[in-house]
Amino acid sequence: MELNTFIYIAIALICTLLSSKLMKLVKLPNVTGYLLAGLLVGPYVLNIIPKGTVDSLGIIPEAALGFIAFSIGAEFRFSYLKKVGKAPIIIACLESLGAVLVVDFTLIAAGNDVPFSLCLGAIAAATAPAATLMVVKQYKAKGPVTETLLPVVALDDATALMCFGISVAIAKTIEGGVGDSLALTILKPLLEIIAALAIGLIFGIIFRFAVKWFTGRGNRLAITYAMVFVCIGLGDMLNVSSLLACMALGATLANTSSFADVVFEQTDRMTPPIFMMFFFLSGAALDISIIPSVGVIGIIYIIMRVAGKMLGSFVGAKISKADKNVQKFLGFTLIPQAGVAIGLATTAMSIVPDYGPKLRTVILCGTVIYELTGPVITKLALKKAGEIS
């Protein structure tokens, strides 16, 4: 019997609460419990919550990602960026580029077609900030690695889009496909980034005046929801990154309003149920039956992406003379991969349609493995770095 949607939401929240208690017993991050609870109760294991219901609740993950990006934007205070310097920018560029190049060269060396290898390698740059941020918040991690990590994962969306645009342009040229010129294909992601940042900047300025005008807690929370939702909505409508728009919204508020800390504190208090639902639904959407089908290509992608991220972040940290712990441990915190990667995979399918199903299967499989292992590895890395007490 199919239950009411509200009953399914109640089941999801109860399962996440119970899983968090279980995770404390085994000393694993709560986010791992949320993912496992969703996987167990979802359509691919026990099927207590059917696939149709999971799909119909798609607005929740999108809202959660918007608020996560908004919170990360708070890390881009000018005073903070002045203190950490250029290190996050250098590291973000090199860890993205490292993942792309290592995956590209390994796949090509293994005998795969160049256009396919370039498209799959391009997606390797993307990192999911949600799981990482949840681990940092749960354990109240503090230190050089955490301070560098948050702006790096924030910048990662932009660097991933640029790497993808360049790789796709080269793949199109090799395939001999008609369409946009090489220059336009490379320029397009840059224009998308600028448009997303402009949306966040404009509504961030509106936000600044709104929080001065609306002084009540409830009113300020309502305007926060409105601003985040309008950035998500416009991002979707204009086909630009809503994550970047929400990050720019948070960064603009953090740098222009004396009420920013109050707004971020209120938001942190009201968003945990949304985040719990987000990870639960992400777990429910993970189809573990595809894991055996990825073959050698999937194994290469899953291992070499992590190797590239670690190598790139180490080189970037070394060049920028970052803290020793940043050089040693930052790469381990950049493993999670989810929504952005799946979106890029869908785009890549139209560029190399002959390889579309294989490419999407590899990315979906990688998402399953990265999302389940990433939070645990992030926790261990931050603990080794001495940033989790």
pLDDT in tens, 239-298: 887 878 888 899 899 999 888 888 998 888 888 899 889 889 888 877 777 777 667 888
Mean pLDDT of the chain: 83
- 37 inside domain: no
pLDDT of residue 351: 67
pLDDT at 180 over 60: no
CA dihedral over 37, 39, 45, 50, signed as positive or negative: positive
The reply to whether 216 falls in a domain is: yes
pLDDT of the residue at 295? 77
Given a contact cutoff of 8 angstroms between Cβ atoms, the answer to whether 93 and 100 are in contact is: no
Quote the Cα angle for 323-324-326, to 5°.
65
- Predicted pLDDT of residue 182: 58
Cα–Cα distance for residue pair 143/137, rounded to 1 Å: 13
Q: Is 75 inside a domain boundary?
A: yes
Report the distance separating Cα 367 and Cα 380, nearest Å.
20
Position 35 confidence tier, pLDDT thresholds 50, 70, 90: confident
State the pTM of this model.
Answer: 0.76
Neighbours of 89 (CB within 10 A): 18
Among the residues of 291-355, which ranges form H helices?
A: 295-319, 324-329, 339-351
Write down the pLDDT at residue 147: 83
Q: How many domains does the chain have?
A: 1
Domain assignment present for residue 54? The answer is no
Average pLDDT (202-215) is 91
Residue 314: inside a domain: yes
Task: Give the tens place of pLDDT for each residue, 87-135.
Answer: 888 888 888 888 889 999 998 888 888 888 888 888 888 887 777 888 8
Give the model confidence (pLDDT) of 316-361 as tens digits: 888 988 888 888 888 888 888 766 677 677 667 666 677 777 777 7
Q: Cβ contacts of residue 384 below 8 Å, gap of 6+?
A: 329
Q: Name the more confident of 108 and 185.
A: 108
Confidence of residue 225 (pLDDT cuts 50, 70, 90): very high
Q: Is residue 220 part of a domain?
A: yes
Residue 301 lies in a domain: yes
With a pLDDT cut of 90, the percent of the chain lying above it is 15
For residue 335, is it within any domain? Answer: yes
CATH number at residue 214: 1.20.1530.20
Angle at 313 between CA 338 and CA 278, to 5 degrees: 20
- At 201, the pLDDT band (50, 70, 90 cuts) reads very high
Of residues 31 and 18, more confidence is placed in 18
Q: 378: which 2 tokens?
A: 């992030």
Q: How far apart are CA 346 and CA 330, in angstroms?
A: 29
- Quote the domain boundaries for residue 333: 62-276+291-384
